[in-house]
Amino acid sequence: MATRLALAGVLSAEQAGATADFILRHQRSNGAIPWYDGSHLDPWDHVESAMGLTVSGHWSAAWRALEWSARTQRKDGSWPMVLRGDEVEDAAADTNQCAYLAVGVWHFYLVTGRTDALARMWPAVESAINFVIRAQLPGGELGWAVDPEGNIGDFALLTGSSSALQSIECACFIASTLGHDRPRWRWAGNRLAEALRERPESFADRSRFSMDWYYPILAGALRGQPAADRIESGWDDFVRDGHGVRCVNDQPWVTSAESAEFVAALDAIGETDRATRVLADLQSLRDEETGGYWTGRNLPDMVLWPREQTTWSAAAVLLGVDAITQTTGGASLWRDACWSGGELSDTAVDDGAAS
C-alpha cells in the first residue's frame, strides 16, 4: 500500500519515496536490514529501518523484517548485539536493542490495523520484554547489556533506558489489545520511569551526547514543563541552525539520525514549528542520487564523515516527516508516548511473567 509522505517545502512525495526505496535496496532476501551494503546489523537499527518501510507503505517488506527478528531471536528472548551476515560478531545483548521490537510491532499495527500481526509477533515480544526486565537493576534503571554468560552490566544508560521505557509501554499496549495482562511489566515500567524522572544520577554520565538530552522526551519519560525546560537547557549546546543537531556537544559534527529523532521529540511536546525547521536543516545531508542521508558532517570544513549512508538514518527521517504531518496511523507514536503504567505494589506483580 503506497503512502504519500511529504512535507511541503522540506521533502516532496517523490523524495520520500526515493528514501524508502533506499532502505528497500539494502534489505536482504531473508528480511534482514543491515546498516548499509557490506556492513553489520544490530537489532535496534534493523527494527527502526523496518518502521521506515512501514510508514512508507511497504508493508510486506516491513513484515519480512519483523519476521526475521522473530525467527532469529535466541531462546532467552535476546539477539546478539552485532551480526554481520549470518555471523555473530558480538554475542552480548543490549537490553534497549532487544526491547525495541515491541515498538516496531506496535507501530506496524497502528499503521496497518492488523491485529493478526500482533498475535503472530506476540511470543517474540513477550520473550524480549521478559528478558529486558530481568536486567533491571535495584534502582529501577536497566543494566545496559547482558553478556553471553548471563551477567548483567553494572551500569545503566539514560538513552537506552528511556527508549526501553517506550518499548515496555508499547508491549503493554500489545498485551492489552490481545487480552493479556502483564502487571510485572507495568511494575517494571513504573520503577524505570521513576528512575528516569527522579534519579538521573543513577545513569552513567553521557551528557555530552545529544541523545541523552532529548531521549527522555522522545520516549515519553518527560512531558510538560520538565520537557520544555530540558529542551531549552540544551538547545545552544546541540542545535546548529541551518545544519541540524550535533551528536556530541564538544565536537562540530551534526548527524542526520540525531537530527531526525530530535524532530520527533520536538513535535511530541507541541514544538512542531521548530521541529519542521530542524527537519528542513537536515536535508543538507540528503543525497539526491541515492535517496539516502549521510551520517554526518563536520561543520568547520563541511566535510561529510563518515562516508556512509545508513538505512536507519533514512528511516528516522521518514518517521520524522510522518510525526510532523500526522499522515499515517502510526504518526502519533511519540506524541502519545507518556508512561502512565499505574500504581502496583511489589506483592501485586508476583505473576511469574519475568521469571
Write the pLDDT tens digit of every residue in 233-285.
Answer: 999 999 999 999 999 999 999 999 999 999 999 999 999 999 999 999 999 99
The three grid cell numbers given for residue 137, joined into one nine-digit string? 537493576
Strand partners, 94: 145
Asked if residue 55 and residue 107 are part of one domain, the reply reads yes
Confidence (pLDDT) at 353: 39
Instruction: Look at residues 176, 206, 236 and tell me which one is the last residue of a structural domain.
Output: 206
Residues 28 and 75 in one domain: yes
Average pLDDT, the chain: 95
* pLDDT, average across residues 6-22: 98
Do 193 and 226 lie in one domain? The reply is no
Query: Is residue 313 domain-shared with residue 183, that is, in the same domain?
Result: no
Does some domain include residue 119? yes
Residue 191 near residue 140, CB atoms below 8 Å? yes
Which grid coordinates are listed for 264?
520527533
In a domain, 3, yes or no: no
Closest alpha carbon to 260 in 276, 277, 279, 247: 279
Residue 78 backbone dihedrals phi, psi, to 5 degrees: -105, 175
pLDDT value for 341: 75
Is the predicted pLDDT of residue 65 greater than 70, yes or no? Answer: yes
Q: Tell me phi and psi for residue 172, to 5 degrees.
A: -65, -40
Q: Residue 166 domain-assigned?
A: yes
| Model pLDDT for residues 199-243, shown as the tens digit of each residue | 999 999 999 999 999 999 999 999 999 999 999 999 999 999 999
Please report which confidence band the pLDDT of residue 343 belongs to, taking 50, 70 and 90 as the band edges.
Answer: very low
Instruction: Supply the CATH number for residue 171's domain.
Output: 1.50.10.10
Residues 119, 71 share a domain: yes
In-domain check, residue 254:
yes
Q: What is the pLDDT of residue 340?
A: 86
Domain span at residue 65? 23-206
The domain boundary, picked from 152, 171, 206, lies at 206
Q: Are residues 85 and 143 in the same domain?
A: yes
Examine the domain organization and report whether 79 and 131 are in the same domain: yes
Same domain, residue pair 240 and 197: no
Q: What percent of the chain has pLDDT over 70?
A: 95
What mean pLDDT comes out for the span 179-203? 98
Encode pLDDT of 86-130 as tens digits. 999 999 999 999 999 999 999 999 999 999 999 999 999 999 999
In a domain, 13, yes or no: no
User: How far does Cα 7 stand from its chain's mean position?
Assistant: 22
Do 190 and 230 lie in one domain? The reply is no
pLDDT in tens, 76-88: 999 999 999 999 9
Q: Is residue 352 part of a domain?
A: no
On whether residue 349 sits in a domain, the answer given is no
- Check if the beta carbon of residue 314 is closer than 8 Å to that of residue 292: yes
